[in-house]
Amino acid sequence: MSQRANEFSTLCIGRKVGFMKKAIAIVVFLSFAGTGWAATNPSATVDRMDHAGAVLHEIMSAPDKGIPEEVLEHAKCIAVVPDLLKGGFIFGAENGRGVATCRTAKGWSAPSFFAITGGSWGLQIGLEGVDLVMIIQNDRGMQQLIASKFQLGADASAAAGPVGRHASADTNWKMDTEILTYSRAKGIFAGLTLTGAVIRRDDDSTRAVYGHQITTRQILEGKEPIPASAAQFLNAVRGAKEQAVASE
């Protein structure tokens, strides 16, 4: 009887743990979904652009902790995801919406919008908001960003970017990697590895800002006029290198 009781108790505990895992997974999923739904109206999209500009400005204002001047000078495109939501129980996941701009012959392009999703396995519990910055370094990386969907690490190489006022004399960060990734969580700014994350076009946010559907290529190649609502974000992008130089 005692052995049967123990087996029954173990079975009940296992079922409770399984239920808890599923419940937490549902909470995480609903949190991610809520983030996406809340961002489809024009005011929320503009707020996200403004927040992205503020994130970049704050990062570059941190003494000796920003993105190196050389990295910014070399950048083809800059993408920011404010409040990337990470979380999970046993598994990890990322979900967020961001804004990007690329260099053109006339300066930085109008903003393009994208969503990022992904997953990784590992022991972790809870949710955390992370600010994500991606520096696209070359034409191949830019073409992947222009595409409607691509995966970091598979379609475009990605690596944690160097941090500081100046990049190391080692130029591997420039030669070998299409996208450099950075994160800021709880005030700590560092390179971040996001291999496996999927980036896709965010049609809802595009319609919210431009009033009609246009392609990512049209936007990032400078064929779309810059909306007034993008001023704060683009001012932060234009001023990022100057901030790095001024902080030396």
E strand or H helix that includes residue 19: helix 2-37
237: exposed, middle or buried (C-beta count within 10 Å: 0-12, 13-18, 19+)? buried
* C-alpha–C-alpha distance, residues 160 and 164, integer Å: 13
Structure tokens at 60: 């570059």
Mean pLDDT by 10 residues, the chain (248 residues): 49 43 41 45 92 92 80 92 70 78 96 84 57 91 87 83 69 70 79 81 94 94 96 95 63
Q: Tell me how many domains the chain contains.
A: 1
User: Residue 20 has what pLDDT?
Assistant: 42
E strand or H helix that includes residue 96: strand 77-104
Please name which of 76, 220, 66, 83 lies closest in space to residue 140, comparing C-alpha atoms.
76
User: Residue 126 has what pLDDT?
Assistant: 54
Query: 203-226 in b/e burial notation, b at 16+ Cβ within 10 A?
Result: ebbbbbbbeeebebeebbbbebeb
φ/ψ (deg, to 5) at 155 = -85, -25
- Which ranges of 38-171 does DSSP label H, i.e. alpha helix? 42-61, 69-74, 139-146
* C-alpha–C-alpha distance, residues 119 and 217, integer Å: 27
Domain holding 41, by residue range, is 2-246
Residue labelled with tokens 């902790």: 65
Q: Which neighbouring-strand residues pair with 121?
A: 91
User: Residue 38 has what pLDDT?
Assistant: 44
Structure tokens at 46: 């503009």
3 state DSSP class of 203: helix
Please name which of 142, 223, 219 lies closest in space to residue 178, comparing C-alpha atoms.
142
CA distances from 181 to 40, 53, 137, 157 (A): 25, 17, 11, 11
Please name which of 103, 105, 87 lies closest in space to residue 95, comparing C-alpha atoms.
87
φ/ψ (deg, to 5) at 208 = -65, -35
The model's pTM is: 0.77
